Amino acid sequence: MGEMFCVKCKKKVTVEDSCVKRELTVKGRPILKAVCPVCSTRMTKFTK
């Protein structure tokens, strides 16, 4: 489980690893994408 910040809820939400998708941006930066389990808003988080 990981924590991501939801902009709509304005708090950190724990997300299951099975819901998190690892992708790359257009410029090649790694990013995590998930859906907030509380309000169903898309969340993103940049990683190293």
Using CA atoms, how far apart are residues 5 and 2, in angstroms rounded to an integer?
A: 10
The pTM of the whole model exceeds 0.95 = no
Using CA atoms, how far apart are residues 21 and 11, in angstroms rounded to an integer?
A: 20
Torsional class of 10: left (φ above 0), alpha (ψ -120 to 50), beta (otherwise)? left
The label of the residue with tokens 């257009």 reads 26
Domain range annotation of the chain? 2-46
Per-residue pLDDT tens over the stretch 1-48: 789 999 999 999 999 999 999 999 999 999 999 999 999 999 999 998
